Chain A
Amino acid sequence: MKNNSSFLTKNRGILIFFAVMLLAPFLIGLFEGSTPLMIWGNQGSLSKFIEGLGIEIFILALFALSFDLLFGITGLLSFGHAMFFAVAAYLTGIALKTLTMPFWGVVLLVLLAAIVQALLFSLVLPRVKGITFTLVSLGLASVFHIIVMSSDMINLTGADVGLQGVPVPAFISPVIERLRFYVIALTLLVVTYLFYRRFVASPTGRVCVAIRENEDRAKMLGYNTTIFKIVAMIISSLTASTAGMLHALYQPIISPAVADLAFTVTALLIVLIGGVGTLSGAIVGAFAFRLLDFSLRRFIGESASFITGAIYVIFVLFVPYGIVGTMRMRQLRTKQGWQQLLGMLKSKN
C-alpha cells in the first residue's frame, strides 16, 4: 500500500493532467449546451473540435518527449528525428491503403521499422560525435524526405501532394469515434511519460544523463557508452513512431512536411519552450506551441508566423531554461532562501 501512495504523490502532476484532460471535453460540452451523454456519443461540435486540437497536441507532445530523451537526457542532438515520425506515418498509410494489412499487423510493422531505424542511426553512433552526428542524422533523414517527395513514388506516397484516403479502421476513426481516439492518444502520452520518468530514474537512465554531461567521464568509469546511446535511441524511435502512427490515423492527409528538417526543429522548439531535459517540459511546450500557433493564426491570419517567431526570440531571452526548467529553478531558490533565513534566525537565538 505504501508503494501505491508514493506512486500517486510522485506523479501527482501528470495524474491531475490526465484527469483534467479526460474531463475537458465534457466540461466544454456544457458551454455549448451538450449533455455529457451527447459528448459520449460524439455529438457536439465545439467539444469535438477541442478534442481534435487535443489530439494534435498529444501527438506533438509524444514526438517532443521522444526528442527530449535523446537531446535533453542523453545529449544526442539529432536533426533526423522527424524521420522516425514520418516513416511510421507513411508506413501506416501505405500498409492500410495499398497493402490492406490488418490493423494490428500494421502496428507491429511500424514498431519493427522503428527498431530497424534506431539501429541504422546506431551504426554511426560509435564513430561520430557532437555536431558530426547531428549532420549525419540530417543526411539520413534527408534521403528519406527525397524518396517520399520523388515523383517515382507518387503511387505509394502521393509525392509532394501527400498521402490521402487512408482507410482508418472504424473503431478508432477520428470522424466517428473521436472521443475514443482522444482518450487513446491521451493515455498513450501519459503512459509513455510515466515510463520515461521511470527510465530516467533507473540506473540505465542515470548513465544516459552521465553521458550527456561528459561521455569521457562515463567511459572512465567503465561504461560502454555506445550501448546506452543505442538503448535511448530505440526507446525514442519507438515513441516517435507511435506519434507518427497516430498522426497518420488522425490526419486526412499525410504531408511530406513531416519528413522535413522543419518538423525536427518543431520538436526542438517545443522542448526549448518547455525546458530541455525535464520531460514534462515536452508536454507543457507542446500545449504552448500549438495553442499559440492556433490562436495567432485565428486572430491575425497568415502573417502570424512572423509574430510567432518574434515571440520565440523574446521567450528564449527571458525564459532561457524553458517553462518547466525555470519553474524548478525558482522552487529550488525559494527553498534555499527559506533555509538561509531559518539558519540566520537559528544562529541569532
Chain B
Amino acid sequence: MSNILEVKNIHSFINQFHILQDVDFVVPKGSITALLGRNGAGKTTTLKSILGLASVREGKVIFEGREVQGMPPFEIAALGIGFVPEHRAIFRDLSVEENLKIAERNKGDLDRKRTFIFDLFPDLKKFLNLRGTELSGGQQQMLAIARALVADNSLLLIDEPSEGLAPVIIEHMIDAIRQLSEQSTVVLVEQNFLVASKLAKYFVIIEEGKSVASGLMKDLEADKAMIHRYLGAA
C-alpha cells in the first residue's frame, strides 16, 4: 500500500453548513503533503473530517486500507492518527509532563519516546513542571506537536504550525517537522507558502470546499500563475 490515506470525494458538514463539497486527494506514505488554500477554503475542516470531528455525509476516508468515515473520533485517533490543532491547543491547566503523559495510548509510551521528543524540543525538558499557560507561544506549539508524537502515530495532521510565531522559531519548527516526518507521514495545513514549500513533497489546493489541484510541490513552485490564482500571494 503506497497511500496511507485516501480521501475520496467527501462532503462534510459543520452543524448545518455544507463546508466541504467534494474534496478528493491521496497521501503517499512517508511523505509530507501540504493542504493549501485561502482562509476559509476548508483546509481545517478537511483535517477534522479525516478525524471524524466534522461529519462526513458523502464519500470515503480510507486510512491504511480501512474505511473510517462515520467512526467516533476517539476510535479513529486510536488507529494511529495524531492531530496537532491550530492555536496551540494544549491543556492549559495541566503541566508539560501531564500534557505529554495524557497522550499515552499504551503505558510507557512517553518513556520510550522521551529521548526522541526532547532531542527535537530541548526546551520542553527544561519546563516539564510548568503549566501550559506559563509557556511562550512557540513552546506551546512545540508541546502540541510533541504531544502528537508520544503515541505511535503513523499519520500526523498538523494545522497551521507557524501561525503567530517569530521567524527564528519557525525555522526551528521546520527542522523539527522535517525530522519527525522520517518516522511518520505528515499532512500539513499551512498559510505560509514559504514554510509549506520548504517542507512538503506533495500539495493539494482547496478552494471553496473543493480540491482543485494537486501534485508535486516542485511543480507548483515553478507555476507562478497557479500560485497567484489560488493562493493570492506568490
Contact = CB atoms under 8 A, between A and B. Distances in A.
Interface of A: 203, 206-207, 209-210, 213-214, 216-225
B79 to A, nearest CB: 9
Given A203-B101, A206-B101, A217-B85, A222 B77 contact: yes
A126 B73 CA distance: 13
B98 interface: yes
Contacts of B151: 221-222
A181 B69 CA distance: 57
A216 B103 CA distance: 13
26 contacts: A203-B101, A203-B102, A206-B94, A206-B102, A209-B94, A210-B94, A210-B102, A213-B91, A213-B92, A214-B89, A214-B91, A216-B53, A217-B85, A219-B53, A219-B77, A220-B51, A220-B53, A220-B73, A220-B83, A221-B102, A222-B77, A222-B78, A222-B105, A222-B151, A224-B74, A225-B74
A324 to B, nearest CB: 15
Contacts of A214: 89, 91
Task: Give the interface residue-count category, chain B.
Answer: 20 to 34
Contacts of B72: 219, 224
A103 B74 CA distance: 44
Contacts of A224: 72, 74
Contact of B89 (A207, A217, A219): A217
Interface of B: 51, 53, 72-75, 77-78, 83, 85, 89, 91-94, 98, 101-103, 105, 147, 151
B74 A210 contact: no
Contacts of A206: 94, 98, 101-102
3 closest A-B pairs by beta carbon, nearest first, are: A222-B77, A222-B78, A219-B73
Contacts of B93: 209, 213
A217 B73 contact: no
Contacts of A207: 102
Given A206-B102, A207-B102, A223 B89 contact: no
Contacts of A209: 91, 93-94
A4 to B, nearest CB: 23
Nearest to B147: A221
From DSSP, what is the main secondary structure of chain A's interface residues? helix
Given A206-B98, A209-B94, A220-B85, 14 more contacts: A210-B94, A210-B102, A213-B91, A213-B92, A213-B93, A214-B89, A214-B91, A219-B77, A220-B77, A221-B151, A222-B74, A222-B77, A222-B151, A225-B74
A55 B158 CA distance: 54
A128 to B, nearest CB: 15
Of listed A219, A221, A223, residue having the most chain B CB within 10 A: A221
A207 B91 CA distance: 10
A221 B89 CA distance: 12
Contacts of A221: 77, 102-103, 147, 151
A209 B83 CA distance: 19
B213 to A, nearest CB: 28
B185 to A, nearest CB: 17
A213 B73 CA distance: 17
Contacts of B53: 216, 219-220
A203 B105 CA distance: 12
A217 B101 contact: no
A219 B91 contact: no
A210 B91 contact: yes
Contacts of B89: 214, 217
Contacts of A217: 85, 89, 91
Contacts of A213: 91-93
B106 to A, nearest CB: 11
Contacts of B94: 206, 209-210
A157 to B, nearest CB: 41
A203 B51 CA distance: 24
A140 to B, nearest CB: 25
Contacts of B102: 203, 206-207, 210, 218, 221
A210 B95 CA distance: 11
B160 to A, nearest CB: 15
A132 B121 CA distance: 41
B74 to A, nearest CB: 5
A220 B94 CA distance: 17
A210 B77 CA distance: 16
A210 to B, nearest CB: 5
Of listed B51, B74, B77, B94, residue having the most chain A CB within 10 A: B74
Contact of A219 (B74, B101, B103, B105): B74
B138 to A, nearest CB: 19
A51 B174 CA distance: 65
A218 B93 CA distance: 13
Contacts of B85: 217, 220
B198 to A, nearest CB: 26
Contacts of A225: 74
Contacts of B75: 222
A216 B78 CA distance: 14
B15 to A, nearest CB: 13
A331 to B, nearest CB: 14
A210 B103 CA distance: 11
Contacts of B92: 213
A223 B103 CA distance: 9
